[in-house]
């Protein structure tokens, strides 16, 4: 491999390498955080703030409770299905402290999606907010889950606000569909039982799996990236050191509107915790007026988001009037930040969006622009201890591009090597072998290297669609659409969308000539999460294909001219 030419343009004081082994595990890092910042506020949500010491106590009690459950031993998988609430970090750290593996489940998943993930992970227990228990109830008997811990939205709030929030959620807003799961245990009871039982410390290794973080695959079903304690700890340090030059430990306030079940927010919050920050969890970021109101309550200094969120905020009344005087860092990831959004954000807030690049398989941070860099269309420079190489179809390394003359850049697949790269896919050696070669992760993204060491993504080798920062895989959508009796065959692609970056488009050859768009949408609705739903449905007489019968997805993006 060629030299790390990007080091020549590293920010002043940025090290080439980080120590990926400074902590024995995530709980070990957390113990040292508590020792330094125990009395400092850790998380805020729905009007309540808990300190690092309180988070330590409650997560220890939850870990102790898990240790009392039959069949739950070290290494077992425990799922969390919840939005951003104080319960999330308590459950997450409790699972890890018990030596178990966290399986993050999107709470908006349909029964089909939940069933697949729980079965594939072999999850023995799940922590779930009651709002989504009816979905779990439909598939529970077909999963290995033996223990269900339920919680209401307001359970971590003080009395009487706890009772008021839970009453409004259930009785007034009617956000909790009827459900019944025999033997389920309320989380507040679980914490009380754990406190009475006492916690037994667990010996963990850095290479133990900490998270099964699910992402899509070529087979059309989600697969679990095995992220070890070392993977996450390395990326917490890699990304944290990149953005924290101006941070003062124990004083920063981070706005966290992205869901903690998403790897971007998950690692970001751990990085903020390492510096003793207060993290303001936003439960419903789709309520943009509510988000603006919450942001107005804080002198926040750091924020993470995706392009659609930034764009939405810029178009929400009151956002431009917020006080941005304490803002230090805004990181955009999950999908490309659009130039118009980045430039307008800078005009309104006086701060740039630091565009970063990563994948679930890399915990996720890989590249980032130096702080203060205006939008340039680049994903920036590799973070410390990270190698990136552009490879051709035969896995030969391609040279950097000077950007001068008539020569075109050498475009190839972006390949990554570093301590943040996953162990592999859970129980899926075939998929693992397809993306790992000679210690490199083949991302499926196409791009090129500039002589200044920065990288630009030009296309995706994979057919993945990115909707508001979430990965959508065409094979999964096609598998659902194809089950409609009126569909002969179909193909799915992503098309540009000003709001979500990309939107799902399905092209169908009808078996039933009377099949309508509405019928297709209604067929998909109970089987696909909202962001996976087709936005556009097009009917054709035939699908474009290669000589061997493979659908030419690139030819599906444009509507044929009549």
pLDDT tens per residue, range 482-528: 889 998 888 899 999 888 889 999 999 998 999 999 999 999 999 99
Is the confidence at residue 562, as pLDDT, over 60?
Answer: no
Tokens of 59: 């997560």
pLDDT at 546: 54
CATH number at residue 286: 3.40.50.12780
State mean pLDDT over 73-91.
98
On whether both 340 and 416 belong to a single domain, the answer is: no
Q: What are the DSSP E strand ranges found in 329-402?
A: 329-332, 354-358, 365-368, 381-382, 387-391
Convert the pLDDT of each residue in 139-183 to its tens digit: 999 999 999 999 999 999 999 999 999 999 999 999 999 999 999
pLDDT at 307: 83
Report residue 1's pLDDT band, with 50, 70 and 90 as the boundaries. Answer: low
Residue with tokens 């475009």: 411
State mean pLDDT over 244-249.
96
pLDDT at 109: 92
The residue out of 405, 433, 460 marking a domain boundary is 460
Residue with tokens 């000077």: 402
Is the confidence at residue 126, as pLDDT, over 50?
Answer: yes
On whether both 161 and 235 belong to a single domain, the answer is: yes
Task: Give, rounded to a whole angstrom, the gap between the first and last alpha carbons of the chain.
Answer: 50
Total-model pTM = 0.87
The residue out of 441, 460, 479 marking a domain boundary is 460
State mean pLDDT over 185-195.
98
| Residue 43 within a domain | yes
On whether both 275 and 235 belong to a single domain, the answer is: yes
On whether both 472 and 447 belong to a single domain, the answer is: no
Report residue 336's pLDDT band, with 50, 70 and 90 as the boundaries. Answer: confident
On whether both 547 and 408 belong to a single domain, the answer is: no
32-41, 327-336, 551-560: least confidently modelled range:
551-560
Name the helix (H) or strand (E) containing 304: strand 302-305
Convert the pLDDT of each residue in 414-456 to its tens digit: 999 999 999 999 999 999 999 999 999 999 888 899 999 999 9
The residue out of 349, 384, 412 marking a domain boundary is 349
In percent, the amount of the chain with pLDDT more than 90 equals 80
| Residue 361 within a domain | no
On whether both 232 and 323 belong to a single domain, the answer is: yes
pLDDT at 2: 67
pLDDT at 478: 85
| Residue 21 within a domain | no
pLDDT at 407: 72
What is the rounded average pLDDT for all residues in the chain? 93
Residues 6 or more apart in contact with residue 292 via CB below 8 angstroms: 313, 316, 317, 318, 319, 322
On whether both 293 and 228 belong to a single domain, the answer is: yes
| Residue 200 within a domain | yes
Q: What are the DSSP E strand ranges found in 122-269?
A: 125-129, 147-151, 185-186, 209-215, 223-228, 253-256
Is the confidence at residue 548, as pLDDT, over 50?
Answer: no
Concatenating the DSSP letter of every residue in 227-292 gives EEHHHHHHHHHHHHHHH-TT--TTT-EEEE-S-TTSHHHHHHHHHHHHTT-EEEE-S-TT-HHHHH
On whether both 330 and 404 belong to a single domain, the answer is: no
On whether both 401 and 319 belong to a single domain, the answer is: no
On whether both 380 and 337 belong to a single domain, the answer is: no
363 Rama class: left (phi>0) / alpha (psi -120 to 50) / beta: left
On whether both 339 and 386 belong to a single domain, the answer is: no
Name the helix (H) or strand (E) containing 508: strand 501-510
Report residue 472's pLDDT band, with 50, 70 and 90 as the boundaries. Answer: confident
| Residue 362 within a domain | no
pLDDT at 560: 62
Provide the domain limits for residue 393. Answer: 5-10+374-460
CATH number at residue 383: 2.30.38.10
Q: Are strands 125-129 and 223-228 parallel, antiparallel or unpaired?
A: unpaired
| Residue 267 within a domain | yes
What's the total number of domains in the chain?
3
CATH number at residue 492: 3.30.300.30
State mean pLDDT over 520-540.
94
pLDDT at 218: 44
10-19, 59-68, 472-481, 539-548: least confidently modelled range:
539-548
| Residue 520 within a domain | yes
Convert the pLDDT of each residue in 352-397 to its tens digit: 999 999 999 999 999 999 999 999 989 999 999 999 999 998 999 9
| Residue 18 within a domain | no
On whether both 493 and 530 belong to a single domain, the answer is: yes
């Amino acid at each position: 491999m060629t030299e790390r030419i990007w080091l020549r343009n590293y920010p002043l004081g940025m090290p080439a390498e980080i120590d990926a082994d400074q902590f024995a595990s995530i709980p070990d890092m957390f113990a040292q955080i508590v020792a330094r910042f125990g009395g400092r506020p850790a998380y805020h949500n729905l009007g309540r703030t808990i300190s690092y010491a309180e988070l330590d106590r409650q997560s220890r009690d939850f870990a102790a409770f898990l240790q009392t459950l039959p069949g739950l031993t070290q290494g077992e998988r425990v799922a969390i299905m919840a939005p951003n609430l104080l319960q999330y970090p308590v459950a997450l750290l409790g699972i890890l402290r018990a030596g178990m593996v966290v399986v993050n489940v999107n709470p908006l998943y349909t029964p089909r999606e939940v069933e697949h993930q729980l079965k594939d992970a072999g999850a023995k227990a799940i922590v779930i907010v009651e709002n989504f228990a009816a979905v779990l109830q439909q598939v529970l008997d077909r999963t290995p889950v033996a223990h269900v811990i339920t919680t209401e939205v307001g359970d971590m709030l003080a009395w009487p606000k706890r009772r008021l929030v839970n009453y409004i959620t259930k009785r007034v807003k009617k956000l909790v569909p009827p459900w019944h799961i025999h033997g389920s245990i309320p989380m507040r009871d679980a914490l009380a039982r754990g406190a009475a039982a006492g916690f037994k410390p667990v010996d963990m290794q850095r290479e133990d799996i900490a998270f099964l973080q699910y992402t899509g695959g070529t087979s059309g079903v989600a697969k679990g990236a095995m992220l070890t304690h070392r993977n996450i700890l390395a990326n917490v340090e890699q990304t944290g050191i990149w953005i924290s030059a101006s941070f003062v430990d124990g004083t920063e306030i981070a706005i966290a509107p992205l869901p903690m079940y998403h790897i971007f927010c998950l690692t970001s919050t751990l990085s903020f915790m390492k510096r003793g920050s207060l993290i303001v969890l936003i439960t419903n970021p789709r309520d943009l007026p509510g988000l603006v109101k919450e942001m107005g309550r804080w002198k926040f200094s750091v924020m993470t988001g995706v392009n659609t969120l930034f764009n939405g905020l810029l178009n929400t009344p009151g956002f431009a009037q917020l006080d941005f005087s304490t803002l230090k860092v805004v990181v955009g990831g999950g999908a490309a930040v659009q130039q118009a959004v980045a430039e307008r954000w800078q005009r309104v807030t006086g701060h740039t969006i630091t565009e970063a690049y990563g994948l679930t398989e890399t915990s996720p941070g890989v590249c980032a622009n130096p702080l203060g860099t205006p939008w340039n269309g680049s994903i920036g420079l590799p973070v410390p201890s990270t190698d990136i190489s552009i490879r051709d179809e035969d896995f030969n390394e391609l040279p950097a591009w000077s950007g001068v003359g008539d020569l075109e850049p050498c475009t190839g697949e972006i390949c990554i090597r570093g301590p943040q790269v996953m162990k592999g896919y859970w129980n899926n050696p075939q998929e693992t072998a397809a993306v790992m070669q000679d210690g490199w992760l083949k991302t499926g993204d196409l791009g090129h290297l500039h002589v200044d060491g920065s990288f630009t993504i030009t296309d995706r080798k994979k057919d993945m669609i990115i909707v508001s920062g979430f990965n959508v895989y065409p094979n999964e959508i096609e598998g659902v659409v194809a089950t409609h009796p009126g569909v002969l065959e179909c193909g799915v692609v992503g098309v540009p969308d000003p709001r979500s970056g990309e939107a799902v488009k399905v092209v169908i050859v009808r078996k039933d000539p009377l099949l309508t768009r509405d019928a297709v949408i209604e067929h998909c609705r109970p089987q696909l999460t909202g962001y996976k739903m087709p936005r556009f449905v097009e009917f054709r007489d035939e699908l474009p294909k290669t000589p061997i019968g493979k659908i030419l997805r690139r030819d599906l993006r444009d509507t044929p001219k009549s």
